[in-house]
Structure 1
Amino acid sequence: MKMLFTLILSFCLIFYFNVEIVSTSPLQYDSIFNFGDSLSDTGNFLLSGAMAFPVIAQLPYGETFFRHATGRCSDGRLVVDFISEASGLPHLPPYLALRKDQLHSFHGVNFAVAGATALDAKFFYDQSIGKVLWTNDSLSVQLGWFKQLKSSLCTTKQECDNYFKKSLFLVGEIGGNDYNYAYFVGGSIKQLRASVPLVVEAITKATSFLIEEGAVELLVPGNFPIGCSAVYLTLFGSPNKTEYDRNGCLKAYNAFSKNHNYQLKRALDMLRQKYPHARIIYADYYGAAMRFIHAPRHHGFTGGTLTACCGGGGPYNFNNSARCGHIGSRACSNPSSHANWDGIHLTEAAYRYVAMGLVNGTFTTPPLRSSLK
Structure 2
Amino acid sequence: MTLMSLLRLPGEHCSLSPATLAAWWSLLLLAVIGISGSPVLAGCYTRIFSFGDSLTDTGNYVHLTATSHSPYGAPPYGRTFFGKPTGRASDGRLVIDFIAEELGLAKVTAIQAGTAPGDFQSGANFAIISATANNGSFFAGNGMDIRPFSLDTQMLWFRTHLRELVQAASPAAQQNGSAAAALLSGALVALGEIGGNDYNFAFSRGVPRDEVRRFVPAVVDKLAGAMEDLIALGARAFVVPGNLPFGCTPLYLQRFRANGGWWDYDPATGCLAWFNRFAQYHNRVLTARLDKLRRLHPDVTIVYADWYEATMSIFQAPGKLGFTNALRTCCGNQTVPCGMPGCSVCKDPSTFGSWDGTHPTQAVYKVIADGVLHGPYASPVPLAETCPPTT
User: Aligned residue for 1:12?
Assistant: none
Greater Cα radius of gyration, structure 1 or 2: 2
**Count of residue pairs brought into register by the alignment:** 341
TM-score by length of 2: 0.83
Which residue in the other structure is 2:206 paired with?
A: 186
Given that 2:63 and 2:113 are in contact with CA atoms closer than 8 Å, whether structure 1 keeps it comes out as yes
Q: Identify which of 131, 136, 139 aligns with 1:124.
A: 139
User: What do residues 14-56 of structure 1 show as CA deviations (whole Å, max 9, x unaligned)?
Assistant: xxxxxxx966633521100000000000111111128712111
- 1:115 maps to a residue whose letter is S
* 1:33 and 1:108 in contact (8 A); partners too: yes
For residues 216-250 of structure 1, the C-alpha deviation after alignment (integer angstroms, 9 at most, x for no partner) is: 00011100001111111100014622211110011
Deviation at 1:160, TM superposition (A): 2.8
Matches within 5 A, 1:105-184: 106-131=121-146, 133=147, 136-154=148-166, 155=174, 156-184=176-204
Gaps of 5+ in 2: 1-35, 167-173
- Is the 8 Å Cα contact of residues 60 and 111 (structure 2) preserved in structure 1? yes
Q: Which runs of 4+ in 1 moved over 6 A?
A: none
**Structure 2 residue aligned with 1:337:** 351
Equivalent residue for 1:52, pick from 55, 68, 77: 68
Residue 225, structure 1, aligned to residue 245, structure 2: yes
Match in the other structure for 1:15: none
CA distance in 2, matches of 1:256, 1:22: 40
Is the 2:55–2:193 contact (alpha carbons within 8 Å) kept by the matching residues of 1?
yes
Q: Distance in 2 between matches of 1:86 and 1:179?
A: 31
Contact 1:22-1:86 at 8 Å conserved across structures = no
- Aligned pair in 2 of structure 1 residues 22, 213: CA closer, same or farther (>3 Å)? farther
- Matching of residue 241 in structure 1 with residue 255 in structure 2: no
**Structure 1 residue 279: Cα displacement:** 0.8
Cα distance change, pair 311–22 in 1 and its aligned pair in 2 (3 A) = farther
The answer to whether the aligner puts 1:33 opposite 2:33 as a matched pair is no
Would you say the 8 A contact 2:247–2:274 is kept in 1?
yes
Match of 1:289 in 2: 311
Confirm or deny: 8 A CA contact 1:22 1:85 kept in the other structure. no
Q: Residue 273 of structure 2: which of 247, 251, 260 is its match?
A: 251
Q: Say which SS state the counterpart of residue 207 (structure 1) adopts.
A: helix
Q: 1:199 and 2:214 equivalent? A: no
* TM-score with structure 1 setting the length: 0.87
Give the CA deviation at 1:125: 3.0
> What is the one-letter code of the residue matched to 1:186?
G
Greater Cα shift, 142-151 or 343-352? 142-151
In structure 1, list runs of 5 or more residues that go unmatched: 1-20, 313-318
| Correspondent of 2:322 among 295, 300, 306 | 300
1-structure distance, mates of 2:307, 2:55: 11
8 Å Cα contact 1:122/1:130 also seen in 2: no
Give the aligned CA root-mean-square deviation in angstroms.
1.9
Contact between 2:59 and 2:128, CA under 8 Å: does it hold in 1?
yes
- Superposition deviation, residue 101 in structure 1: 5.3
Cα distance in structure 1, aligned partners of 2:178 and 2:340? 51
SS at match of 2:326: strand
SS state of the match for residue 303, structure 2?
strand
Which residue is 2:7 aligned to? Answer: none
Of 285, 303, 306, 1:263 maps to: 285
Between the aligned partners of 1:286 and 1:340, the Cα distance in structure 2 is 15
Stretch of structure 1 that moved more, 91-100 or 70-79: 91-100
Q: Which has the higher contact order (CA 8 A, sep 6+)?
A: 1
Alpha-carbon distance change, 45 to 24 in structure 1, aligned in 2, over 3 angstroms = closer
Residue 192 of structure 2 aligns with an amino acid whose one-letter code is G
Give deviations 1:245-272, integer Å, cap 9, x for gaps.
1100111000000000000001111111
